[in-house]
Amino acid sequence: MMKDMTVGNEGKLIFYFALPMLFGNVFQQMYNVVDSVIVGNYIGKNALAAVGASFPVIFVLISLIVGISSGSTIIISQYFGAKDYKKVKATMDTMFIFLFFASLTITALGLLFSRNIFEMMDLPKEILPEAIIYFNIFISGAVLLFGYNGVSAALRGMGDSKTPLYFLIISTILNIILVMLFVVVFHWGIAGTAVATVIAQGVAFLISVIYLNKYHTIIKFSIKDFTFDKEIFIKSIKIGIPSGLQQTFVAIGMMALIRIVNGFGTDAIAAYSVAGRIDSFAIMPAMNFSMALSSFVGQNIGANKTERVKKGFRATMLMTGAVAIFITIFAVIFGETIMGLFTNDQNVIKIGESYLVIVSSFYIVFSFMFVVGGVLRGAGDTLIPMFITLLSLWLLRVPLSWWFSRSYGTDGIWWGIPIAWIFGFVMSYAYYLTGRWKRKAIIKRPVVQIEEPLVE
């Protein structure tokens, strides 16, 4: 169901729009958790470390494409807010044509260079074979992953966050069932987890296409009717490339970070893998509220209602701040217990618990940083956030994590993360206060000059 977010209470609109996305990500992260529990308990900590080492590489390969396609989502939301449905359809068609060819390229590059990438990361030899197996199978399903995410992004741009939730729930439940079947029953090892993920993504994409063609009133998924709009593509690239590069910098930063972690052995890698899964679960409310805020901002800027943006921003800051405080308290108190669900190796548990205590204490800073970013992205202003991310990663997070690790071990690595968050939030908020993002709207309206009446 499409939602017009240009009218009504700002906080309620953002909350109810974010809620389905949050539930969807809960299901997705639940799968990730169940997947890690099964891998850790039925295959071993080497496999757990291999899966954890694969994700930064996967993130690097797909982040640029996903970031560029996010430019299309912003354009869709602004055209939808302006009630220009023909342009909405043209933007979606252009996005899918781009995603198809990009996914083929990513798959080819991934399969060709996977071993070289993992060796460059200095991955321990006992983990390398399983990491390559998992990665190669996963990346082979890139076209299905991009297809499903493309449909979901288009629907969110039009204010529909409930329908992608239903697709995701089906995919997640299927994923969990298949992982248990392939790993626990068939004993396929780490390959089973990757195959299960590819199949589940394919089913989600298929269902989403059937939904569009049978029930959606504006957009249909028909390859023969797709049209490529060069002007819209150029607009998407201008908005999306900074966002894509920003995500790529984050992904490369994750690879650099895990290379530092690799130097501390398999236990550290396994702990980082598990703690990272928990971390992803904890920070997703902020990410979902930020995405909801981006759609809200896009529609209201498209409708020329910029006064509603500030109200939506304040409401989102309050909501994410409250959730972040609750999650921090929970993670600090129950960190050791949560780690124990994934492995019984005490050293892995100890390292992971330390990560959770250090990093979770700054979830509120991460939340505020993402909320500010949501406003900027929704307005189509993605260049400055890209530079802020670049600086926070490569001037602070990676160098500090390496430097601190020399004196404080793995704890030193973890401290580089919140320090970078603090810098990112301060810089992003300072830019938000300048108000320059208000001039980045895709839809340009002519300035109407009102002539003064003649005075007789």
pTM: 0.69
Could you tell me the sign of the dihedral formed by the alpha carbons of 117, 121, 125, 129, in that order? negative
Residue 110 is encoded by which pair of tokens?
């991934």
Q: Are 262 and 57 in contact (CB under 8 A)?
A: no
Residue 230 is encoded by which pair of tokens?
């060069």
What's residue 440's pLDDT?
65
Residue 446 lies in a domain: no
Pick 94 or 277 by higher pLDDT: 94
pLDDT in tens, 46-79: 887 888 778 778 877 787 777 777 778 878 887 8
* The pLDDT of residue 450 is above 70: no
In angstroms, rounded to a whole number, what is the distance separating the alpha carbons of residues 441 and 163? 27
In angstroms, rounded to a whole number, what is the distance separating the alpha carbons of residues 290 and 302? 18
* The pLDDT of residue 455 is above 70: no
pLDDT in tens, 396-408: 988 999 999 999 9
Residue 321 lies in a domain: yes
Residue 448 lies in a domain: no
Number of domains in the chain: 1
Residue 451 lies in a domain: no
* The pLDDT of residue 296 is above 70: yes
What's residue 269's pLDDT?
85
Could you tell me the sign of the dihedral formed by the alpha carbons of 435, 437, 439, 444, in that order? negative
In angstroms, rounded to a whole number, what is the distance separating the alpha carbons of residues 19 and 394? 34
Q: Whole domain around residue 112: which residue ranges?
A: 10-439
The length of the chain, given as a count of residues = 456
In angstroms, rounded to a whole number, what is the distance separating the alpha carbons of residues 153 and 73? 6
* The pLDDT of residue 453 is above 50: no
* The pLDDT of residue 21 is above 50: yes
Residue 456 lies in a domain: no
How far, CA to CA in Å, does 410 sit from each of 46, 56, 220, 405, 416? 18, 18, 50, 6, 11
Burial of 217 (0-12, 13-18, 19+ CB in 10 A): exposed
Q: What would the DSSP string read from start to end of 294-327?
A: HHHHHHHHHTT-THHHHHHHHHHHHHHHHHHHHH
In angstroms, rounded to a whole number, what is the distance separating the alpha carbons of residues 279 and 61? 21
What's residue 225's pLDDT?
80
In angstroms, rounded to a whole number, what is the distance separating the alpha carbons of residues 60 and 54? 10
Residue 454, Ramachandran bin (φ over 0: left; ψ between -120 and 50: alpha; else beta): beta
Could you tell me the sign of the dihedral formed by the alpha carbons of 90, 93, 99, 101, in that order? negative
Residue 260 lies in a domain: yes
Q: Are 21 and 163 in contact (CB under 8 A)?
A: no
* The pLDDT of residue 446 is above 70: no
Please provide the average confidence, as pLDDT, over all residues in the chain. Answer: 84
Q: Are 33 and 176 in contact (CB under 8 A)?
A: no
97-119 average pLDDT score: 92
Choice among 114-118, 206-210, 250-254, 357-361 with the minimum mean pLDDT: 250-254
What's residue 454's pLDDT?
37
Helix (H, G, I), strand (E, B) or coil at 388: helix
pLDDT in tens, 125-180: 888 999 999 999 999 999 998 998 888 888 877 878 788 888 888 888 898 899 99
Q: State the pLDDT confidence band at 441, using cuts at 50, 70 and 90.
A: low
221-236 average pLDDT score: 85
What's residue 443's pLDDT?
59
* The pLDDT of residue 22 is above 60: yes
Virtual torsion, Cα 236, 242, 244, 249, nearest 10 deg: 180
Neighbours of 245 (CB within 10 A): 20
Q: State the pLDDT confidence band at 32, using cuts at 50, 70 and 90.
A: low
H or E segment and range at residue 28: helix 10-38
Most confident of 65-79, 188-202, 280-294, 441-455: 188-202
Residue 12 CA, distance from chain mean position:
23
Q: What is the maximal distance between C-alpha atoms in the chain?
A: 93
* The pLDDT of residue 2 is above 70: no
End-to-end CA distance of the chain: 56
Residue 256 lies in a domain: yes
Rounded (5°) CA angle 12-17-19: 95
What's residue 410's pLDDT?
92
Q: State the pLDDT confidence band at 351, using cuts at 50, 70 and 90.
A: very high
In angstroms, rounded to a whole number, what is the distance separating the alpha carbons of residues 99 and 73? 13
Residue 309 is encoded by which pair of tokens?
């943006």
In angstroms, rounded to a whole number, what is the distance separating the alpha carbons of residues 312 and 223? 37
What's residue 436's pLDDT?
84
Helix (H, G, I), strand (E, B) or coil at 227: coil
Residue 109 is encoded by which pair of tokens?
């590059």
Q: Which residue matches tokens 């968050």?
A: 421
Pick 239 or 29 by higher pLDDT: 239
Residue 323 lies in a domain: yes
